[in-house]
């Protein structure tokens, strides 16, 4: 198979490239090497045909798609961002980029697409009340957050709710700009499939971590932020009360899910797109992650700050049973092993220049006490 990986010089795309090469696929990478994600010196992955360009450029896409059997669309602007001033760039990068890709796929008659989506499409996710009934909480108010009431409450009774695992058929409820761009990407992939007879897998990634995770940007995930603090000798700063739940899934497992999804695409009926949650299946709190990394790096105990970020969801954990059942895939990296490796690996210093000030900006503009 000849595969195109958009964003193939990035954290997740790069791992898809590595695994695809390992199993003998021919790999082409399309990457813009944009400066807010990559250091100027970043080298394209070895052993691949590299197309340097923007996924929004139709001519670049036509060149990149020639002779390709399947596309992995990993190029995106990720994370929560700084504030609403980021919105236009999220929409331009993620929504317009995917629309251009869909149009180019149709021109090139490429019929297989694996899309990097995200758990953020579920918003607050699924909860149950004391009687075990499914409930959808309203967004947390500033007053609640300021008062340290972090748990979402039953909209009718006001009682706290128990988080539950979401599955792919749960309600989609994007709650920030990044989340809505990921949902728009999914809809574009579905529209493309319907109108061309193509097949798409929509992979809703959980919180991905791994050795080359970008650090010290407003778009960095919490594991990278904690690792950077510990590497500087500082304590990880845990927001809210540290009990917020996530599923931290290793980048190699996510890349494995991408290849497994591409292999399974031909079993889907033509003209359809199917969503798959991709997580480790293990629920971890942010406080536990901080403590685990601090131990692995021999650093100071985490500090629970009580700060919060507006737009953060409280708990988001999903069932990845569908991916296991239908993609012949299972996560392999246990969190303790993944964190030990993560703790000792060199961070991707991309965009690290100025990382300190950026981090300060996030704290002053994006976080409230
Ligand atoms: C993350 C991803 C998002 C992805 C989603 C999948 C990032 C930036 N965001 O969102 O792209 O789609 O997972 O589920 O990678 N926190 C701290 N201290 C810090 C920073 C964060 O305690 O210094 C807390 C946050 O308040 C939040 C949790 O850690 O409760 C996770 O934050 P983050 O890593 O940004 O991830 P998500 O918001 O889950």
Q: Where are the domains of the chain?
A: 2-125+166-344
Q: Can you tell me the distance from the alpha carbon of 289 to that of 183, in angstroms, rounded to the nearest whole number?
A: 27
CA of 208 to the centre of ligand 1 (A): 10
Of 12, 75, 207, the one to substitute when testing ligand 1's pocket (max ligand atoms within 8 A of C-beta) is: 207
Tokens of 344: 């000792």
Q: Can you tell me the distance from the alpha carbon of 226 to that of 183, in angstroms, rounded to the nearest whole number?
A: 28
**Residue-level pLDDT at 155:** 84
Contact at 8 Å (CB) between 206 and 247? Answer: yes
**Residue-level pLDDT at 138:** 80
CA of 80 to the centre of ligand 1 (A): 8
Which residues form ligand 1's pocket by a CB distance below 6 Å? 78-80, 118-120, 205-207, 219, 221-222, 225, 237-239, 244, 246, 286, 309, 312, 316
Contact at 8 Å (CB) between 31 and 73? Answer: no
Question: What does CATH list as the number for 2-125+166-344?
Answer: 3.40.50.720
**Residue-level pLDDT at 218:** 65
CA of 11 to the centre of ligand 1 (A): 16
Q: Can you give the C-alpha Rg of the chain in angstroms?
A: 20
CA of 207 to the centre of ligand 1 (A): 7
Tokens of 206: 């959980």
Q: In 3D, which of 333, 343, 244, 229 has the Cα closest to residue 280?
A: 333
Of 175, 217, 246, the one to substitute when testing ligand 1's pocket (max ligand atoms within 8 A of C-beta) is: 246
Determine which residue's CA is closest to atom 13 belonging to ligand 1.
Answer: 207
Contact at 8 Å (CB) between 313 and 247? Answer: no
Q: Can you tell me the distance from the alpha carbon of 295 to that of 301, in angstroms, rounded to the nearest whole number?
A: 8
Atom index in ligand 1 nearest the CA of residue 220 equals 8
Bridge partners for 162 per DSSP: 128
Q: Are strands 162-163 and 127-128 parallel, antiparallel or unpaired?
A: antiparallel
**Residue-level pLDDT at 80:** 67
CA of 219 to the centre of ligand 1 (A): 9
Q: Helices (H) and strands (E) in the chain — how many of each?
A: 12, 18
Q: What are phi and psi of 4, to 5 degrees?
A: -110, 130
Tokens of 139: 């967004």
CA of 313 to the centre of ligand 1 (A): 9
Q: Can you tell me the distance from the alpha carbon of 214 to that of 36, in angstroms, rounded to the nearest whole number?
A: 10
Contact at 8 Å (CB) between 209 and 174? Answer: no
Q: What averages of pLDDT result for each successive group of 10 residues across the chain (369 residues)?
A: 95 95 97 78 78 97 98 90 86 98 98 97 92 88 94 89 94 91 98 98 96 78 93 96 97 98 98 98 96 95 95 90 97 95 71 33 33
Single pTM value for the model = 0.91
């Amino acid at each position: 198979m000849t595969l195109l990986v958009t964003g193939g010089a990035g954290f997740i795309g790069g791992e898809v490239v590595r695994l695809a090469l390992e199993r003998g696929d021919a790999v082409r990478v399309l990457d813009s090497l944009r400066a807010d994600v990559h250091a100027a010196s970043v080298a394209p992955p070895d052993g691949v045909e590299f197309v340097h360009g923007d996924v929004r450029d139709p001519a670049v896409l036509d060149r990149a798609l020639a002779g390709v059997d399947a596309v992995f669309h990993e190029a995106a602007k990720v994370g929560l961002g700084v504030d609403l001033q980021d919105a236009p760039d999220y929409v331009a990068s993620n929504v317009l980029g995917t629309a251009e890709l869909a149009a180019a796929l149709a021109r090139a008659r490429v019929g297989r697409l694996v899309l990097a989506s995200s758990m953020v499409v579920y918003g607050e996710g699924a909860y149950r009340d004391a009687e075990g009934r499914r409930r959808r909480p309203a967004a947390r108010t500033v007053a609640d957050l300021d008062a340290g009431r972090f748990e979402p409450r039953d909209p009718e009774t006001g009682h706290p709710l128990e988080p539950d695992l979401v599955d792919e058929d749960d309600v989609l409820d994007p709650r920030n700009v990044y989340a809505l761009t990921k949902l728009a990407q999914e809809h574009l992939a579905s529209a493309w499939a319907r109108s061309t007879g193509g097949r798409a897998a929509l992979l809703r990634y959980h919180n991905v971590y791994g050795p080359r995770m970008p650090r010290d940007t407003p778009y960095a995930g919490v594991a990278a932020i904690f690792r950077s603090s510990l590497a500087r000798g500082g304590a990880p700063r845990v927001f809210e009360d540290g009990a917020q739940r996530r599923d931290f899934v290793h980048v190699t497992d996510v890349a494995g899910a991408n290849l497994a999804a591409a292999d399974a695409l031909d079993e889907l009926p033509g003209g359809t797109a199917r969503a798959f949650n991709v997580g480790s299946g293990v629920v971890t709190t942010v406080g536990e992650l901080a403590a685990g990394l601090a131990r692995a790096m021999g650093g100071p105990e985490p500090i629970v700050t009580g700060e919060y970020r507006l737009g953060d969801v409280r708990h988001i954990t999903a069932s990845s049973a569908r991916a296991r059942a239908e993609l012949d895939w299972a996560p392999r990296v246990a969190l303790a092993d993944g964190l030990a490796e993560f703790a000792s690996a060199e961070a991707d210093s991309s965009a690290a220049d100025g990382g300190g000030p950026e981090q300060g900006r996030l704290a002053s503009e994006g976080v409230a006490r």
